[in-house]
Amino acid sequence: MNGVHDMGGLQGYGPVMIEANEPLFHGEWERRALGITVAMGASGLWNIDLARSARESLPPLDYVQGPYYAIWIQALQKLLLERGLITPQELAQGQALTPPVAGVRVLKAAEVDAALAKGSPADRPSTCAPRFAVGQRVRALNLNPQGHTRLPRYVRGHVGTVVLHHGSHVLPDQHVKQMLPPFDGTAEHLYTVVFEGAELWGPQAEAGSQVCVDAWESYLEAVPSP
Amino acid sequence: MQADHGHHHDHSHEQSTLSEMDLRVRALETLLTQKGYLDPAAVDRIIETYEVHVGPHNGAKVVARAWVDPAFRDWLLQDATAAIASMDYTGRQGEHMVAVPNTPETHHMVVCTLCSCYPWPVLGLPPVWYKSAAYRSRAVIEPRAVLADFGLSLPAEKQIRVWDSTAEVRYLVLPERPTGTEGWS
C-alpha cells in the first residue's frame, strides 16, 4: 500500500538524531513490548508479512508519531482482535472475560532459544527458471497495490541492473492474502537490483550514489540493453 | 553529531504517552497470560536473549575474523549465511545474510525504508536512529549528508551504495581494516 511507512526519499524529517550510549530500551514497557510481540508471533496465527502489514496500515498519524514499540503494540492488538483471540472489552479492561481460542501455539521458555536460532527462512525450492540474470537491465514496475507489497514507491518505473540473485523467496504480497493459516506461500525468484542515484532522484541526486533494493520477479520487467 | 533537539518537545505530553504505554503493555501482557496464550517466562527469555547474548558484539567478532583470516573473509563474501552460521550467529532476522565490503572506492550503507529490518543475530536490535523517519527517508536520497550527521565525511570521489532491506536478506557491512593493525589478533 502507498502508506506513510514507505519513507524512502521523503524530506522534512530533519537530521538523524543520535543518542550517545543509547540504551536498548527506553522503559520497561519497551522491553515487555518486544518480548510479547516476538512470543505471540510464535502462535502461528499470522506470519511476519501479516505483522508488517498490520503495522504499516495503522492510522497514518499514529504510525508517524510512534514511538516505535507503540506501533508494535498497536499492530499486535489489531492482529489479536482480528482473529478473535481477545475482545475489545478484554483489551480495555486488561482482564480475560471469555475462554481462550483453541489451537493457539504457546511458546514455552524452554523453547525460546531454539525458536530464535531457527528463525523463519523465507527461501523455497525454485519451481521454475529465473527470468532475469545478474548484469541484466530491468525496470521496476509501476505497481500500486492497496495491500502489502515490498516494492518501495521511489523505485517504481525506474531502470536498474541486477546485481544478485537469491533463488526463490516467499512473496510477501501473496503471503498476506490469507488471514489465518494455511498461508499462501507462493515463492518467486528474488533479485537485488541497483539503481543509480541520478535515475531515482534526478538533478538533486548526490554524485556517486546508488541504491539497491531486493525485488521479486513480479516486481520487474526486462529492459533491452542500450 | 546531532545530540540536541532542533525543535521543542511537549514534555508533559510525552510523559503521559509513556505512562499510558506502560499501562497498556502491562494490561495486554496480563490479558494474554490469563488467556493462556503467553508464557511470561518465555517473554523473559526473549528479552534476556537480546539484552545479553545477541548484540553487535557478535558482528564485531565476525568482522574481526574477516580482517585477520583471508579464507574466512572470502567465505563471508561468497556465502555470508554459512560463514556467520559457522560462528553460531544464526536465527531470527538473519536467515539470509550478505556481507558487503567497504573498499577505497565504495562505502556501503544499509537501511530499511519500509520498516526497520536489521540483521538481529549479528547486530542485535536496531538503534532508535536506524528506525527513525529521518534515517529511513534520507539514507536513500542523501546518504552522504546522512553520514555527515554521524560525523563521517567521505572523499567526493568515493561511491556510496545504499542497500534497502526490502526482503528477508540482511546486509552486514564489512568495514575496511583500520591501518596500523597489522599483526593484531
Domains and CATH numbers, chain A: 28-118 (1.10.472.20), 123-222 (2.30.30.50)
Q: What is the DSSP string of A75-98?
A: HHHHHHHHTTSS-HHHHHHTS--S
Contact A68, B135 (CB under 8 A): no
Q: Do A192 and B169 touch (CB under 8 A)?
A: yes
Whether cis (ω within 30° of 0) applies to the bond prior to A67 is yes
Give the per-residue pLDDT at B4.
44
Instruction: Print burial letters for B52-66: b (CB count within 10 Å at least 16), e (below 16).
Output: eebbeebbeebbebb
In the stretch 46-75 of chain B, residues with CB closer than 8 A to chain A read 46-47, 49-51, 54
Is it the case that residue A7 has pLDDT exceeding 80? yes
Query: What value does the mean pLDDT take over residues A75-98?
Result: 97
Q: How sure is the predictor about B10, in pLDDT bands with cuts at 50, 70 and 90?
A: low
Residue A201 CA to residue A209 CA, distance in Å, equals 10
C-alpha cell at A99: 475462554
Query: Measuring CA to CA, which residue among B129, B113, B108, B114 is closest to residue B171?
Result: B108
pLDDT digits (tens, 9 = 90+) for A138-159: 999 999 999 999 999 999 999 9
Residue B177 CA to residue B131 CA, distance in Å, equals 27
pLDDT digits (tens, 9 = 90+) for A180-225: 999 999 999 999 999 999 999 999 999 999 999 999 999 999 998 7
DSSP B132: S
Query: What value does the mean pLDDT take over residues A33-54?
Result: 97
C-alpha dist (Å) from residue A90 to A36, A105, A172 = 17, 20, 31
B158 contacts in A (CB within 8 Å)? Answer: 208
A24 contacts in B (CB within 8 Å)? Answer: 50-51, 124-125
Catalytic site positions of B: 112, 115-117
| Residues 6 or more apart whose Cβ sits within 8 Å of residue B100 | B108, B110, B161, B163, B171, B172, B173, B174
Q: What residue in B sits closest to A69 (Cα-Cα)? A: B21
Q: How sure is the predictor about B2, in pLDDT bands with cuts at 50, 70 and 90?
A: very low
B91 contacts in A (CB within 8 Å)? Answer: 116-119
Give the per-residue pLDDT at A109.
97
pLDDT digits (tens, 9 = 90+) for B24-57: 999 999 999 999 999 999 999 999 999 999 999 9
- The mean predicted confidence, pLDDT, of chain A is 97
Residue A185 CA to residue A172 CA, distance in Å, equals 9
| Residues 6 or more apart whose Cβ sits within 8 Å of residue A45 | A79, A83, A85, A104, A180, A181
B152 touches chain A (CB under 8 A): no
Pairing mode of beta strands A123-124, A187-196: unpaired
| Topology, domain B56-174 | Nitrile Hydratase; Chain A (3.90.330)
Residue B139 CA to residue A9 CA, distance in Å, equals 8
Pairing mode of beta strands A137-140, A220-222: antiparallel
Give me the count of residues in chain A. Answer: 226
Beta pairing partners, B171: B98
pLDDT digits (tens, 9 = 90+) for A88-135: 999 999 999 999 999 899 999 999 999 999 999 999 999 999 999 999
Q: Do A208 and B157 touch (CB under 8 A)?
A: yes
Q: Do A106 and B131 touch (CB under 8 A)?
A: no
Q: How sure is the predictor about B3, in pLDDT bands with cuts at 50, 70 and 90?
A: very low
What is the ipTM score, two decimals?
A: 0.97
Give the per-residue pLDDT at B6.
45
- The mean predicted confidence, pLDDT, of chain B is 93
Residue range(s) of every CATH 3.90.330.10 domain in chain B:
56-174
Give the per-residue pLDDT at B9.
54
Q: Do A5 and B114 touch (CB under 8 A)?
A: yes
Q: Do A211 and B140 touch (CB under 8 A)?
A: yes
Q: What residue type is A3 in one-letter code? A: G
% of chain A exceeding 90 in pLDDT: 98
Q: What residue in B sits closest to A117 (Cα-Cα)? A: B91
Give the per-residue pLDDT at A54.
98
Query: What value does the mean pLDDT take over residues B162-167?
Result: 98
Query: Looking at CA atoms only, how far is residue A173 from chain B in angstroms?
Result: 11
B79 contacts in A (CB within 8 Å)? Answer: none
How many CB atoms neighbour CB B159 within 10 A? 15
Query: What value does the mean pLDDT take over residues A6-28?
Result: 96
Q: What residue in B sits closest to A123 (Cα-Cα)? A: B96
